[in-house]
Amino acid sequence: MSVSRTVVITARTVIFSMMLGMVAPAFAQNQAPAPTPNLPDAPKAASASAPVNGGVMSVDYSKPKTYWFNPVGTYSERKVPAPNFANTARVDSVMRDGKIYLSMSDALALALENNLDIAIARYNLPIADTDILSTKAGSAARGVNAGVVQNTPGGGVGGIGASSTGGGAGGTTAGAGGVGTGIGGIVASTTGAGSTVGNYDPFITGNVQGEHTRAVVTTSYIPVPFIVQNNTTYNFNYAQSWYTGTSANIGWQNTRQAGGLNVLDPYLNSTFRFTLTQHLLQGFGLGPNMRFIRIAQNDKKITDSAFRQQVRETVSQIQNIYWDLVAAYEDVKVKQRALEFAQRTFSDNQKQVQIGTLAPIEVVHAQSTVSTAQQDLIVSQTSLQLQQLLMKNAITRNMGDPILAAAEVIPTDTMQVDANEVDASVDELIKTAQEHSPEIEQAQIDLKNREITMKSTKNALLPSLDAYGFYGAAGNAGEPIPGAGSTINPSGYGDALGHLVDSSSPDKGLGVTLTIPIRNRAAQATQVRSQLEFRQAQMRLQQLFNQVNIQVRNAAFAVQQDRARVKAAQASREYALQSLEAEQKKYALGASTSTLVLQNQSGFENAENLLVSALTAYEKHKVELDRVTSQTLDKNRIELADSTKGVVNTAPQVPGVIKITSDVNNPANEPQHPAPPQQPQPETPQQPQK
């Protein structure tokens, strides 16, 4: 029967406890507890240099914290700045007298600084950097978000009020890039599969253990009832791997034993062994062992391309919202003029009925027209308010400010068709689109990742053959027990360490380890699947080329059709105006009725609406053509670096827009509309004389 008490304390626990003991008091004095995150309040004053992502983009998260001047720094967290929900100062610069006077260039600059879709996608850039950092340590790549965030409502090609909503912050797949990994990214990809990768960050493991043993003696030749023994061990180990498939391990064990039946009390023992292992088949070379790093670096390129795609999509959306806003203003003007015309006609008809020169039914017709015009104006005004709200939401981070929420948004650019515009060759547009398409670029980079995986899974089919060599030594020391008759000279721990280096007791050898999976089914399945996914990705890439081809042709045809529609609508408007003027002249001569005049006015209003719709469709399809050819950023001279930082230093320059130099609500170049004519007044018949 024996009673044993063992106390095991790892060196890592001791080291961490010491570190926390030294560091925690300083933190307790200098750091306040982290506040609980709340929803943002109304926007506060902010400078143009205050990015929405709180300066995250100024930090390179692909590099670790240095430990040369702060050895414990690598064991402390890295604080990510909280996002800044205040609007940039550029918002205040476009506000005058409680109104937002907005040009297209201003709208794009504000969106690049404040739009939350871009701000959300911007976080994907440092997230991809963290993958590079972790793979340098030997971890697998977690994958990146390559999806486009489209949670800003409005800006669809369909017209006023159309929305364009989409997914969240990219895909959710664990595969690199997430290109072609299944519906919704649910299917897990084999990207990165292959042989096991070692730890490229070295590890030091320490173990300190004290053990006390009291054992009952059950044999007759030991003249004591109990044997008491105290053992203390100090063991340390260092391990590291390299990109070549090489790994090293250094172990150092130390034991101090007091008591027991040894002739030395205390007895000291120290040993060490250095082992070097090299993979010869599976896991050999740079390819399999650096695949995670190369995939993470490619993922970073995918993320950069996806962010460029995000900026392209958001800029196109802002342009569409802007043209919808311009169209809404034009529609309100048309409805206001129609109502004014109907009201004047109704008033004139009432006067005519009072003096007996017009049938009362004409007043009823005019009153009905006024009611319809009032309804149309209310609908148009509410649509305008919606477009103003959509624009403010798209170019700001926060609309909690009552002044901002109540401010009207007045566009200072208007629509036009350039009569001298020359259509580019469709083939040239397709070539440009294929060369600059971020979707194609991402798919091509994803193919490289899958090719890396194919080579790695092919290597993983091989048996595991490792060659290793080791060298070690042992040293003993201690104090002989008096009277035990030992001839060993007394020695200490220093003598034991000396034996480790004097080659008095070496321990060395060479060997190989061979592991052969008998059926190897898992590796076969992974290797075949990686090739199937590679072929599938090739098909997906070809599909993208075809889609770009169709999209470019469709957008180019739409621009041509819209240009023809605008010309036809302009001619139709002129014809409707001439018809209205002719009917008014007939009415002034007594050859027509107010009902016919109102019908012609309604036709003229419809012609104006068709012209506004045609101009809007033309401008938005031009935006779509720039988008599908990936020329949106170049055409509008948008610096991607400004978008990345969230601070616009170079304002966008939008080509082909017309500035409104007069009052926006009553531009000087607006065509004049005829007023309702006066019905000729016959002379009042005189009463016959009696």
pLDDT at 71 over 90: no
pLDDT recorded at residue 227:
77
pLDDT recorded at residue 488:
64
pLDDT at 682 over 50: no
pLDDT at 23 over 80: no
Mean pLDDT of 588-605: 87
438 or 172, greater pLDDT: 438
pLDDT recorded at residue 510:
97
pLDDT recorded at residue 189:
81
In this predicted model, what pLDDT tens digit does every residue of 327-349 receive, in sequence order? 999 999 999 999 998 999 888 88
Contact 631, 377 (CB under 8 A): no
In this predicted model, what pLDDT tens digit does every residue of 404-424 receive, in sequence order? 999 999 999 998 888 777 788
Question: Which positions ≥6 away from 126 have C-beta within 8 Å?
Answer: 56, 57, 59, 61
pLDDT recorded at residue 222:
66
The percentage of residues in the chain with a pLDDT greater than 90, rounded to a whole number, is: 55
pLDDT recorded at residue 670:
46
Q: Which of 169, 52, 149, 108 is nearest to 632 (CA)?
A: 108
Query: d(Cα 438, Cα 309) in Å, to the nearest integer?
Result: 6
DSSP-assigned states of every residue in 222-235:
S-SSEEEEEEEEEE
If you ran DSSP here, which 8-state letter would residue 144 be given?
-
Binning pLDDT at 50, 70 and 90, where does residue 170 land?
A: very low
pLDDT recorded at residue 185:
45
pLDDT recorded at residue 146:
86
pLDDT recorded at residue 333:
94
pLDDT at 182 over 60: no
Mean pLDDT of 568-584: 93
pLDDT recorded at residue 497:
82
Contact 273, 236 (CB under 8 A): no
Mean pLDDT of 495-524: 89
Give the Cα-Cα-Cα angle 176, 189, 288 (nearest 5 degrees): 70
pLDDT recorded at residue 145:
86
Kindly report the average pLDDT of the chain as a whole number.
82
pLDDT recorded at residue 633:
95
491 or 302, greater pLDDT: 302
Burial label for 44, CB within 10 Å (0-12, 13-18, 19+), is: middle
Distances (CA, A) of 453 to 180, 293, 522: 15, 12, 15
Backbone angles phi, psi at 223, to 5 degrees: -85, 30
pLDDT recorded at residue 407:
94
How many Cβ atoms are within 10 Å of 482's Cβ, its own excluded?
Answer: 8
Binning pLDDT at 50, 70 and 90, where does residue 688 land?
A: very low
Query: d(Cα 173, Cα 181) in Å, to the nearest integer?
Result: 7
In this predicted model, what pLDDT tens digit does every residue of 434-478 receive, in sequence order? 999 999 999 999 999 999 999 999 999 999 999 999 999 988 887
The mean-pLDDT minimum among 16-30, 150-164, 236-250, 523-537 falls in 16-30
Q: Which of 121, 128, 129, 180 is nearest to 147 (CA)?
A: 121
Q: Please give the model's pTM, rounded to 2 decimal places.
A: 0.81
Contact 674, 584 (CB under 8 A): yes
Query: d(Cα 332, Cα 329) in Å, to the nearest integer?
Result: 5
Query: d(Cα 71, Cα 356) in Å, to the nearest integer?
Result: 103
pLDDT at 614 over 60: yes
Query: d(Cα 392, Cα 398) in Å, to the nearest integer?
Result: 9
pLDDT recorded at residue 423:
82
pLDDT recorded at residue 493:
78
The kind and range of the H/E element at 286 are: helix 286-289
pLDDT at 669 over 80: no
Binning pLDDT at 50, 70 and 90, where does residue 240 land?
A: very high
pLDDT recorded at residue 365:
87
Query: d(Cα 624, Cα 641) in Å, to the nearest integer?
Result: 23
If you ran DSSP here, which 8-state letter would residue 75 be given?
G
Binning pLDDT at 50, 70 and 90, where does residue 40 land?
A: very low
Type of residue numbered 162 = A
550 or 257, greater pLDDT: 550
Distances (CA, A) of 392 to 52, 120, 404, 662: 16, 18, 8, 23
pLDDT at 1 over 50: no
660 or 325, greater pLDDT: 325
Mean pLDDT of 139-167: 70
pLDDT recorded at residue 144:
87
Q: Which of 511, 148, 197, 181 is nearest to 314 (CA)?
A: 148
